[in-house]
């Protein structure tokens, strides 16, 4: 494929016009006949099928190409093409292989709705206005030009090999080129007339995400600069924008990272300062190398500093051929091999050289560079309804292709091939990687290794995208090489530092050095039960069997993880103290093949959703859509979720909890917390959760999960798993604690704040059954009266059962007129109302400080540990 030949990467013949003319302008397109010298889109069949894997996602309306490599599981859709397939398409990428970066679900816009799509131009302008897409196309001049889009995460997998960044693993195909048709944004600005202080144009899309609508900004002066070609596009390669690429309207910011080109565009807001959109602040930045993931998470100042925001792309180049794992037979080999690849730079800066080294960077040879974009500069006619008017522009916004013929004999004697590019400002790719928390803008020299295997040469790229194994970086890392030693992890003479850079990350060690047993996935899966529960964290195997009884989360949580990879949940919900206990349970490591098998598949649900009678599954995540959000107070909400079908019940025993998982839309890191729903356990079709939102304040960071939940749009799916917990109320005084059943005559229930939810479940279950003679004394402590959650429900239950329960609220900051108790829940208060009794069980749920003080007080009053249960 990559062998010497005269094949060209640029001109693909076009046999027909992609779409019939929609306007008079289109009809006047120059016939795209054989004499046409511009590269035209590759023949495209266009994806027409909704793939099976998308059918149960919010993108069930989007047809896609199965060749695309999914980088973040099934949903949201973040994909790149195999590098060779992308390169073989030539200068323009067909829509079905164009990379996609979606933070969430694709807004559903039908063809009929396109002309009426509205967007606004507002903010610091004399004439704010709203326009339909139809008006935009009728009233403004349209242009067509080629633009290369590049995701700032392109080549991030290499960064992740050095040290895991907060971003998913793009290979080297996070880039694509389209021929876009639309209107210059500057034309709209001229109508809107920005006011004196206006400096930025903020853009907002229609995709509502956990942290609001996707949005970002660019400078107004850039928008007004005709050289920069900033535009709104409605067509790509002559066709309506595909849903994944912004149908029906997107911004295009040539020469800048793809993240600035907002899709499904709804608003242009002219402002004095840069965008304060969450995605502008927390995405698309290169923080200083010295900022660790922890520091970045704990110190918001890094994210608010515009100096670290990425706009222009940096200079980059990649080797496409030889492809990864390509074998070049030395038997009857051609004399020459043609090395080929792509290069691009940012801000309209042109690539002025691409250089190849086959002696580790000691000497460099100049490659040929071909700029297909230039051919449009000579084409001054309309194309796809837009004028091609690039003759006067000095900027270059597309990728170019480099190639160099090298004697096969020379490759035989070489260990690797390196490429580096330079742009017209003499910006050159560095030899060494600049690692940063988000792993963006990775652009060191691209290196392909050469290994002689029998009669052939095998070529290896640095990495393969997503979880795909392969690449020389993985090998170097496994062999203990230091990828950041400036020599691609190879040992230099006299260098005995074998420590991978990752070891520098301050992480708690979960493993023991003296454990070296290798375990297969088949062996692991035999230990998936209460008698023997093995589970995997970061590729290492742990035996949790002996810890089941002592596990604060109950034996069931360990059993649920048995035989599986529990890394995400474990890391998300365990404290440092818990992590420090892990070496004691470390029994071995998975072999490489087993790791891949486990990584590739999360446990699948048992059977199709429509057939399952209960929603929760202990070993697989199931998704319910948020259908309603009720505001209870300024910081408290009830979130209502629709289960998979109306007859389905939740499947959560009284007193147990479930896990909720949301993924950070930028980094895809999971956020997992446990909650107790407030809906009745036997209610079918619905699940209700009462949640107090911990907002960010100048003093506190705010709760990641609660803030993300609060900003979820209706219709968004949330994942659940469970049940978990060691306690279960079986009814009529019978309780199960870690599977051991005992009967109690009364409960003392102590809670504070949102700790009321598990208490409420048990209290309601006891009181709902008229035959249940168990007595309950509930102590519920809060700061102010507004903070008392479920107050009405609790009081109604108490009023209906006067002889069986006592409900005591106490407030630490009571307002005037509060006639109830004042102060916190203390041992003294409990002593006033209850006496220790072997037939009483105390249930406690609240902040750690409360649980600690109640524990100490009650033990001193004569309660036994076996009679105290902390949720
Ligand atoms: N616009 C919206 N509304 N929502 C998004 O998630 N992703 C951005 C940008 N515009 C995004 C968006 C990012 S990070 C990139 S790299 C490009 O879209 C990708 O464009 P593409 O999917 O058309 O290739």
Which DSSP string do the residues of 274-321 spell out, in sequence order? ----HHHHHSSB---TT--HHHHHH-GGGTT-GGGB--BPPPEEEEEE
**558: pLDDT strictly greater than 90:** no
Residues with C-beta less than 6 Å from any ligand 1 atom: 98-103, 149, 151, 205, 207, 214, 244-245, 258-259, 261-264
Per-residue confidence at 260, pLDDT binned at 50, 70, 90? very high
Per-residue confidence at 37, pLDDT binned at 50, 70, 90? confident
Strand partners, 422: 353, 428
C-alpha 258: how far from its chain's center?
Answer: 16
**600: pLDDT strictly greater than 70:** no
Per-residue confidence at 335, pLDDT binned at 50, 70, 90? very high
What integer pLDDT is reported at residue 9 of this predicted model?
44
Protein residue with its CA nearest to atom 17 in ligand 1: 258
**5: pLDDT strictly greater than 80:** no
The residue with greater pLDDT, 232 or 597, is 232
* CA of 250 relative to ligand 1 center, distance in Å: 9
Say how far apart CA 24 and CA 834 lie, in whole Å.
86
What integer pLDDT is reported at residue 203 of this predicted model?
98
> If we measure between CA atoms, which residue out of 406, 399, 307, 336 comes closest to residue 365?
406
Q: Which atom of ligand 1 is nearest to the CA of 102?
A: 6
Say how far apart CA 652 and CA 762 lie, in whole Å.
12
Domain 518-592 adopts which CATH fold?
Flavocytochrome B2; Chain A, domain 1 (3.10.120)
Q: Are 748 and 830 in contact (CB under 8 A)?
A: yes
Share of the chain above pLDDT 90, in %: 67
Top mutation candidate among 263, 346, 439, 440 for ligand 1, by most atoms within 8 Å of CB: 263
Mean pLDDT score, 369-376: 97
Q: Which atom of ligand 1 is nearest to the CA of 103?
A: 6
**278: pLDDT strictly greater than 70:** yes
Q: What is the dihedral of CA 419, 423, 425, 431, to 10 degrees?
A: -20
* CA of 46 relative to ligand 1 center, distance in Å: 20
Which DSSP string do the residues of 672-718 spell out, in sequence order? EEEE---S-TT-BSEEEEEEE-----SS----HHHHHHHTPPTT-EE
Rounded to two decimals, what is the model's pTM?
0.70
* CA of 207 relative to ligand 1 center, distance in Å: 10
**498: pLDDT strictly greater than 60:** no
DSSP, res 661: E
**611: pLDDT strictly greater than 80:** no
**17: pLDDT strictly greater than 60:** no
What integer pLDDT is reported at residue 754 of this predicted model?
87
Q: Reduced to 3 states, what is the DSSP secondary structure of residue 235?
A: strand
Mean pLDDT score, 90-115: 96
Q: Which atom of ligand 1 is nearest to the CA of 258?
A: 16
What residues contact 298, with CB distance under 8 A and at least 6 apart?
701
Mean pLDDT score, 175-189: 98
Q: Are 324 and 268 in contact (CB under 8 A)?
A: no
Run of H or E residues at 177: strand 175-184
Average model confidence (pLDDT) for the chain? 89
Per-residue confidence at 667, pLDDT binned at 50, 70, 90? low
Mean pLDDT score, 298-306: 91
The residue with greater pLDDT, 369 or 8, is 369
**151 annotated binding-site participant:** yes
* CA of 264 relative to ligand 1 center, distance in Å: 9
Q: Considering the domain 727-870 in this protein, what is its CATH number?
A: 3.40.50.80
What integer pLDDT is reported at residue 598 of this predicted model?
74
**6: pLDDT strictly greater than 50:** no
**610: pLDDT strictly greater than 80:** no
Token output for 374: 């230039």
Identify the CATH assignment for 52-308 out of 3.30.950.10, 1.10.3720.10, 3.90.420.10, 3.90.600.10: 3.90.420.10
Per-residue confidence at 28, pLDDT binned at 50, 70, 90? very low
Compute and round to an integer the Cα radius of gyration of the chain. 31
Burial 151-183 (b: 16+ CB within 10 A, else e): bbbbbbbbbbbbbebbbbbbbbbbbbbbbbbbb
Per-residue confidence at 599, pLDDT binned at 50, 70, 90? low
> If we measure between CA atoms, which residue out of 214, 210, 175, 193 comes closest to residue 91?
175
pLDDT digits (tens, 9 = 90+) for 766-812: 999 999 999 999 999 999 998 899 999 999 999 999 889 999 999 99
What integer pLDDT is reported at residue 528 of this predicted model?
86
Q: Are 79 and 98 in contact (CB under 8 A)?
A: no
Domain at 609-724: CATH architecture: Beta Barrel (2.40)
Residue 392: Cβ within 10 Å count = 9
The residue with greater pLDDT, 694 or 4, is 694
Mean pLDDT score, 145-174: 95
pLDDT digits (tens, 9 = 90+) for 43-68: 887 888 999 888 888 899 999 999 99
* CA of 110 relative to ligand 1 center, distance in Å: 20
Say how far apart CA 92 and CA 82 lie, in whole Å.
15
User: For the chain, where do the domains classified as CATH 3.40.50.80 start and end?
Assistant: 727-870
* Active site residues per annotation: 151, 283-284
> If we measure between CA atoms, which residue out of 137, 98, 161, 378 comes closest to residue 248?
137
Top mutation candidate among 65, 93, 100, 101 for ligand 1, by most atoms within 8 Å of CB: 101
Q: Considering the domain 316-376+401-503 in this protein, what is its CATH number?
A: 2.60.40.650
Strand partners, 183: 232
Q: Which atom of ligand 1 is nearest to the CA of 665?
A: 6
Top mutation candidate among 236, 258, 277 for ligand 1, by most atoms within 8 Å of CB: 258
Per-residue confidence at 501, pLDDT binned at 50, 70, 90? very low
Q: Which atom of ligand 1 is nearest to the CA of 205?
A: 3
Long-range Cβ contact pairs of 63-72 (< 8 A, separation 24 or more)? 64/96, 64/244, 65/96, 65/97, 67/96, 67/97, 68/96, 68/97, 68/100, 69/171, 69/465, 69/466, 69/468, 70/466, 71/168, 71/169, 71/170, 71/465, 71/466, 72/168, 72/668
Strand partners, 494: none
pLDDT digits (tens, 9 = 90+) for 637-659: 999 999 989 999 999 999 999 99
pLDDT digits (tens, 9 = 90+) for 397-451: 999 999 999 999 999 999 999 999 999 999 999 999 999 999 999 999 999 999 9
* CA of 263 relative to ligand 1 center, distance in Å: 6
What integer pLDDT is reported at residue 507 of this predicted model?
65
Say how far apart CA 382 and CA 35 lie, in whole Å.
15
Strand order through the sheet with 586-590: 518-519, 586-590, 540-543, 534-537
The residue with greater pLDDT, 386 or 32, is 386
User: For the chain, where do the domains classified as CATH 3.90.420.10 start and end?
Assistant: 52-308
> If we measure between CA atoms, which residue out of 127, 278, 119 comes closest to residue 708?
278
Token output for 413: 């004697």
Q: Give, rounded to a whole angstrom, the gap between the first and last alpha carbons of the chain.
A: 62
Run of H or E residues at 204: strand 200-209
Protein residue with its CA nearest to atom 23 in ligand 1: 245
**31: pLDDT strictly greater than 60:** no
* CA of 151 relative to ligand 1 center, distance in Å: 8
Per-residue confidence at 526, pLDDT binned at 50, 70, 90? confident
What integer pLDDT is reported at residue 634 of this predicted model?
84
* CA of 220 relative to ligand 1 center, distance in Å: 20
Q: Which atom of ligand 1 is nearest to the CA of 265?
A: 3
**11: pLDDT strictly greater than 80:** no
User: For the chain, where do the domains classified as CATH 2.40.30.10 start and end?
Assistant: 609-724
**163: pLDDT strictly greater than 80:** yes
Protein residue with its CA nearest to atom 22 in ligand 1: 100
């Amino acid at each position: 494929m990559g062998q010497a030949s005269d094949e060209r990467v640029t001109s693909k013949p076009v046999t027909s016009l992609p779409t019939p003319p929609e306007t008079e302008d289109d009809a006047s397109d120059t016939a795209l006949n054989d004499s046409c010298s511009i590269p035209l889109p590759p023949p495209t069949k266009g994806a027409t099928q909704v793939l099976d894997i998308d059918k149960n996602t919010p993108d069930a309306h989007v047809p896609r190409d199965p060749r695309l490599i999914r980088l973040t599981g099934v949903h949201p859709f973040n994909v790149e093409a195999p590098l060779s397939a992308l390169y073989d398409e030539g200068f323009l990428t067909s829509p079905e292989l164009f990379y996609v970066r979606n933070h969430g679900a694709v807004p559903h816009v039908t063809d009929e709705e396109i002309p009426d799509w509205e967007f606004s131009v507002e903010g610091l302008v004399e004439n704010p206005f709203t326009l339909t897409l139809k008006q935009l196309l009728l009233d403004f001049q349209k242009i067509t030009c080629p633009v290369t889009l590049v995701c700032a995460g392109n080549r991030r997998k290499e960064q992740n090999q050095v040290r895991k960044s907060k971003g998913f693993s793009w290979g080297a195909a996070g880039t694509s080129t389209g021929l876009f048709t639309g209107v210059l944004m500057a034309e709209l600005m001229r109508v809107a007339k920005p006011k004196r202080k206006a400096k930025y144009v903020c853009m907002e899309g229609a995709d509502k995400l956990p942290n609001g609508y996707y949005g970002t900004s660019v400078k107004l002066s850039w928008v007004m600069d005709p050289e920069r070609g900033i535009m709104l596009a409605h067509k790509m390669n002559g066709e309506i924008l595909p849903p994944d690429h912004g149908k029906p309207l997107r911004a295009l910011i040539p020469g800048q990272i793809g993240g600035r080109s907002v899709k499904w565009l709804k608003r242009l807001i002219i402002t004095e300062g840069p965008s304060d959109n969450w995605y502008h602040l927390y995405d698309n930045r290169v923080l200083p190398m010295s900022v660790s993931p922890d520091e970045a998470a704990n110190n918001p100042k890094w994210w608010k500093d515009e100096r670290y925001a990425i706009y222009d792309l940096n200079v980059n180049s990649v080797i496409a051929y030889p492809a990864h794992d390509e074998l070049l037979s030395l038997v009857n080999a051609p004399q020459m091999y043609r090395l080929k690849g792509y290069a691009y730079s940012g801000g309209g800066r042109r690539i002025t050289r691409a250089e190849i080294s086959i002696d580790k960077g000691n000497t460099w040879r100049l490659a040929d560079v071909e700029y297909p974009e230039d051919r449009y500069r000579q084409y001054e006619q309309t194309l796809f309804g837009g004028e091609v008017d690039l003759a006067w522009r000095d900027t270059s916004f597309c990728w170019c292709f480099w190639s160099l013929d090298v004697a096969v004999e020379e490759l035989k004697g070489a260990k690797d091939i390196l490429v580096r590019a330079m742009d017209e400002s003499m910006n050159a790719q560095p030899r060494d990687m600049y690692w940063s928390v988000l792993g963006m803008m990775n652009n060191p020299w691209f290196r392909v290794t050469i290994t002689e295997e029998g009669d052939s040469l095998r070529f290896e790229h640095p990495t393969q995208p997503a979880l795909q194994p392969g690449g020389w970086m993985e090998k170097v890392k496994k062999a203990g090489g230091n990828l950041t030693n400036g020599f691609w992890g190879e040992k230099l003479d006299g260098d005995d530092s074998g420590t991978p850079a990752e070891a520098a990350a301050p992480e708690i060690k979960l493993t023991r050095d003296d454990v070296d047993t290798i375990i297969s996935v088949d062996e692991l899966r035999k230990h998936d039960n209460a008698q023997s529960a093995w589970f995997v964290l970061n590729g290492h195997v742990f035996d949790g069997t002996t810890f089941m009884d002592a596990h604060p989360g109950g034996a069931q949580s360990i059993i649920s993880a048995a035989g599986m990879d529990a890394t995400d949940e474990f890391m998300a919900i365990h404290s440092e103290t818990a992590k420090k206990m892990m070496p004691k349970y470390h029994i071995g490591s998975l072999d490489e093949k087993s790791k891949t098998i486990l990584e590739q598949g999360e446990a699948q649900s048992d059977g199709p959703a429509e057939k399952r009678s209960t929603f929760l599954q202990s070993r697989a995540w199931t998704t319910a859509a948020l259908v309603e959000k009720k505001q209870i107070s300024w910081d408290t909400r009830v979130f209502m979720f629709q289960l998979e079908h109306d007859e389905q019940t939740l499947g959560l025993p009284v007193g147990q909890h479930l896990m909720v998982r949301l993924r950070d839309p930028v980094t895809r890191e999971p956020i997992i917390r446990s909650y107790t729903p407030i809906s009745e356990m036997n209610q079918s079709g619905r699940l209700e959760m009462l949640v107090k939102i911990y907002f960010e304040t100048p003093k506190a960071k705010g709760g990641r999960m609660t803030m993300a939940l609060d900003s979820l749009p209706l219709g968004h799916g949330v994942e659940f798993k469970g049940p978990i917990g060691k306690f279960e109320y079986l009814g009529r005084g019978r309780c199960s604690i870690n599977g051991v059943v005992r009967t109690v005559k009364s409960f003392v229930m102590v809670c504070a704040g949102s700790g009321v939810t598990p208490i409420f479940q048990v209290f309601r279950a006891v009181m709902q059954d008229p035959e249940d003679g168990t007595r309950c004394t509930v102590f519920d402590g809060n700061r102010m009266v507004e903070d008392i959650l479920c107050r009405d429900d609790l009081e109604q239950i108490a009023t209906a059962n006067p002889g069986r329960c006592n409900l005591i609220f106490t407030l630490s900051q009571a307002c005037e007129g509060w006639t109830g108790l004042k102060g916190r829940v203390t041992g003294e208060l409990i002593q006033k109302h209850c006496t220790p009794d072997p037939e009483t069980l105390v249930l406690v749920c609240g902040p750690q400080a409360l649980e600690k003080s109640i524990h100490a007080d009650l033990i001193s009053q004569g309660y036994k540990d076996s009679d105290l249960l902390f949720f």
